[in-house]
Amino acid sequence: MKSILMISLHGYVGANAELGKPDTGGQVVYVLELAERFSRLGKKVDLVTRQFENQPEYDHVDENYSVWRIPFGGKKFIRKEDMHDHLKKFVTNCLAAIKKEGKKYDVVYSHYWDAGWAGQKIAEELGVSHVHTPHSVGWWKQHTMGSDMDEKVMEKTYRFKERIRKEYFVYQMCNHVIATTLPQVDLLTKQYDVLPKNCTMIPPGIDENRFFPVPSKENDKIRVKYDIHPTDILTLGRMAHNKGYDLLIKALPTVFDLCPEARLVAAIGSDQSDQDDEGVATLKKLATELGVMDKIKWKNYIADEDLANVYRSANIFAMPSRYEPFGMVAIEAMACGTPSVITVHGGLYDLIDFGNQALFADPHRPVEFGAMMAMPLLYPKMRNELSVEGARFARRNFGWTGIAKRMIEVFKSSINQQTMESNLFY
């Protein structure tokens, strides 16, 4: 197994990804990290994505690994929910480019439903194995959001019927599905009829060379640089309904009752998206109504080179998601020595030893979530133990090189399966 065609279509994918732009977050980090680690392990990797705006055709990362952009759907950004309308053109253009360049691949590895649908067609055309990672699952997202949004508005915005139909096709037809959490495995087998033998759970990873604790004196200097206080709670990520930032704000009165010196640092959304600006404005209105606006420091998107230091600066990291396929940001924060309070509605919840590696709570119950956020502030001994054990847990279980090696073994197995099936007809 020498050559891998990775496909991740939506957002701004590049060797130096523009994280924080629309549809450009944890999945892009995941894909780029894996591509780099596959390359380090001696595999040839083409990471194929969409070419739009004024992006170049190639980012040549090293002799083994390139980001390759295929044009389709015009020059403008297309949100991931609307990729349905353009996938056939991508398949045609991608196959034509592969044949023109004379490229050969042993396996197609696709990400999210859009690339999964296209990747299955491409793998069938090339006669190679197809492995897929969903990242998030339409059925889960639809049913979790069902009580929070009008059904017609939700369908118009997210096009779940089309998405779930395409997901079912991908999960049934691909050689193997790599889920990122155990609950996702259960969901795929129960709601999408995936055979258990065709599904493996491999968690996401972290860059061990970026995310690590530093001595307290060094951290004091870092806090001054980023204007973050020793009693601050940090949350960060894309501006999205499922991230539950409104639920976090509703939990703040409980935090401030117990710890008046606390403050929330909210690094939410992007400064280049009108939709994100509208979402943050709604959060600010809620904070004003609850009387906590003066206890929140709002930050724009955190640059990638600053991310580890921002994690380190906070006393606590909070992940209040309504649902979260995994929760990479919490693992990154833990690896930096910052205790995390995570949602119970996500995959990471099942892996955590409560009170040892992290704390968890239901963000739909604001008093409960607020009390958990207050615990490390109230009890420094607890905070120190969570810091040490959380960092050990994150680094030992989620280093990217080890994750990549596990995936290569899945690729090899799927290639063997594909070869045996092909031999039946010759």
Residue with tokens 């060797």: 15
Same fold for the pair 3-205+400-423 and 216-397:
yes
Cα separation, 238 vs 173, whole angstroms: 32
pLDDT of 397 strictly over 80: yes
Q: Say what the pLDDT of residue 183 is.
A: 83
Q: Say what the pLDDT of residue 271 is.
A: 63
**Cβ-based neighbours of 34, under 8 Å, separated by 6 or more:** 6, 205, 400, 403, 404, 407
Read off the pLDDT band of 225 (50, 70, 90).
very high
Q: Say what the pLDDT of residue 79 is.
A: 93
Q: Say what the pLDDT of residue 146 is.
A: 60
pLDDT of 420 strictly over 90: no
Q: Say what the pLDDT of residue 218 is.
A: 95
Residue-wise pLDDT tens digits, 302-317: 888 999 999 999 999 9
Pairing of the two strands 232-237 and 129-133: unpaired
Long-range contacts of 379-388 (CB under 8 A, 24+ apart): 382/355, 383/315, 383/316, 383/339, 385/356, 386/339, 386/340, 386/355, 386/356, 386/357, 386/358, 386/359, 387/213, 387/337, 387/338, 387/339, 388/337
Read off the pLDDT band of 263 (50, 70, 90).
very high
* 165 backbone dihedrals φ, ψ, rounded to 5°: -60, -45
Q: Say what the pLDDT of residue 304 is.
A: 84
User: Whole-model pTM?
Assistant: 0.69
pLDDT of 371 strictly over 80: yes
What mean pLDDT is predicted for residues 109-123?
A: 97
What mean pLDDT is predicted for residues 278-301?
A: 95
54 burial via Cβ count (<10 Å: 0-12, 13-18, 19+):
exposed
What mean pLDDT is predicted for residues 331-360?
A: 94
| Sequence spans of domains, the chain | 3-205+400-423, 216-397
pLDDT of 348 strictly over 80: yes
Percent of all residues in the chain with a pLDDT value above 90, rounded to a whole number: 77
Q: Which residue has the higher pLDDT, 146 or 248?
A: 248
Read off the pLDDT band of 147 (50, 70, 90).
low
pLDDT of 270 strictly over 80: no
Q: Say what the pLDDT of residue 367 is.
A: 98
Token pair recorded at residue 330: 């919490």
Q: Which residue has the higher pLDDT, 325 or 387?
A: 387
Cα separation, 172 vs 189, whole angstroms: 10
Q: Edge to edge, what strands does the sheet with 232-237 contain? A: 296-299, 263-268, 232-237, 316-319, 340-343, 359-361
> From 1.10.240.10, 1.10.8.50, 3.40.50.300, 3.40.50.2000, which CATH number describes the 3-205+400-423 domain?
3.40.50.2000
Strongest mean pLDDT among 22-31, 135-144, 290-299: 290-299
What mean pLDDT is predicted for residues 40-49?
A: 97
Which run of H or of E encompasses 335? helix 328-335
pLDDT of 1 strictly over 90: no
DSSP secondary structure string for all residues of 121-176: HHHHHHT-EEEEE-SS-HHHHHHHHTTTS-HHHHHHHH-HHHHHHHHHHHHHHSSE
> What topology does CATH give the domain 216-397?
Rossmann fold (3.40.50)
pLDDT of 21 strictly over 80: yes
Residue type, 347: G
Q: Edge to edge, what strands does the sheet with 107-111 contain? A: 58-62, 65-71, 44-51, 3-7, 107-111, 129-133, 176-179, 199-201
pLDDT of 75 strictly over 70: yes
Q: Is the dihedral of CA 34, 35, 41, 43 positive or negative?
A: positive
Residue-wise pLDDT tens digits, 160-202: 999 999 999 999 999 999 998 888 999 999 999 999 999 999 9
